[in-house]
Amino acid sequence: MTDTAAREMPLEPENELQDDVAVVDDHGSDIAGHDDHEGHHSSLGLSNMKLAMWLFLGSECLLFGALISTYLLSKARFLTELVALNPRVLDGLRDGGMPEELIQEFIAEGSVEPIFDIPFTSGSSFILLMSSLTMVFAHKAVSEGNYRNSRVWLAATALLGSTFMAGQVYEFTIFFREGLTYGGSLFGSGFFTLTGFHGAHVTGGIIMLLSLLVLSFRGKLQSNRAETVELVGLYWHFVDIVWVLIFTIVYLIP
C-alpha cells in the first residue's frame, strides 16, 4: 500500500503546478481567487504538497519502525532457538538447503553474521548514499533552470538507485542459494521482509525519478516545477536514511 501511495504522491503535483503556472500567467500575482487544489493561500507558508510529503514520511517512519522491531525480534528468537538446537529450526534451515557448515557457524557464533558479505553491502550502501548527493544536484539544476544538468543528475540518481537494487537482487539470490529461504526460518522471513520493503521503496523512487526524466525530455520540467523535484528528493533522502538505519541494524550490529 505504501508503495502505491508513494507512487501517486509525487505524480500529483503535475496538475497542481500546472494550475499555478496558468494562474500566475493569467493574473499576475493574483492567485487568491483561484480556489483549486492548491488553495487560496497557505497558512503555514509551506505548499500543500510539501506538507503532505512530510506527513507521509512521518507515517513511513512508523512503518519502518515496526518492520525493524519485527526483524530484531525475529532474529533474536531465531538465534535463541537455534543455539538451543531446536530440531524444528534446524530442519527448517536444512530443508532450505543451507549447508551444514554455515548452520554450525551460526550456532558457534550465536549470530547471523556469517551469511552477510559486509564489504559488498557496504559498497552498495555507499552507492545509495551517493545517489542522495546527485539528487541534491538534480534539484539544484532544476531550480536554476539548467535542463541539461538536471537530466544528467536525475539519470545519475536513478542509475545509482538501480545499481543498489541490482546489488540487493544479487544479494538475495546468493542468500537464497546458501539456503536462507523466506519460509525456512524466522530470520529469513524477517530479513527478506524488511529489506524487501525497503527495496520496494527504492524501486518506487526510481520510477518517480524516471517519470521526472520523461517530463524533462518533454520539456515539462522547468524551474517553476523545482518543487516536484524537491518532493521526490525528500522521499529519496528518506529512503536513503532508512537504509543507513537498516544497514547498521541488520548488517553491522552483531
The residues in 99-158 that bind another protein, with binding defined as CB under 8 A, are 145, 147-148
Minimum distance, C-beta of residue 112 to another protein, in the bound complex (Å): 13
| Shortest spacing between CB 232 and another protein, in angstroms | 13
For 113, 116, 192, 244, the CA distances from 253, given in Å and listed in that order, are 9, 12, 17, 12
Question: Binders of another protein among 201-220, rule CB under 8 A?
Answer: 211, 219-220
Q: Is 29 in the site for another protein (CB under 8 A)?
A: no
Neighbours of 151 (CB within 10 A): 18
The C-alpha atoms of residue 59 and residue 225 are separated, in whole angstroms, by: 25
Tell me how far, at minimum, the Cβ of 164 lies from another protein, in Å.
Answer: 22
157 contacts 134 by C-beta, under 8 angstroms? yes
Q: Tell me how far apart the alpha carbons of residues 108 and 111 are, in angstroms, rounded to a whole number.
A: 8
Instruction: Identify whether the C-beta of residue 109 lies closer than 8 Å to the C-beta of residue 117.
Output: no
44-73 residues in contact with another protein (CB under 8 A) are 44, 46, 48, 51-52, 55-56, 58-60, 62-63, 66-67, 70, 73
Nearer to another protein, 15 or 122 (CB): 15
Q: Shortest approach of another protein to residue 73 CB, angstroms?
A: 6
Q: Which of residues 73-92 bind another protein (CB under 8 A)?
A: 73-74, 77-78, 80-81, 83-84, 86, 88-89, 92
Compute the half-sphere exposure of residue 225: CA atoms within 13 Å on the CB side of its CA. Answer: 27
For the CB of residue 207, give the shortest distance to another protein in the complex, in Å. Answer: 10
Dig out the grid coordinates for 135 from the structure: 539528487
- What part of residues 173-202 is at the interface with another protein (CB under 8 A)? 182-183, 185-186, 188-190, 193, 197
Write the CA distances from 225 to 54, 136, 142, integer angstroms. 18, 15, 8
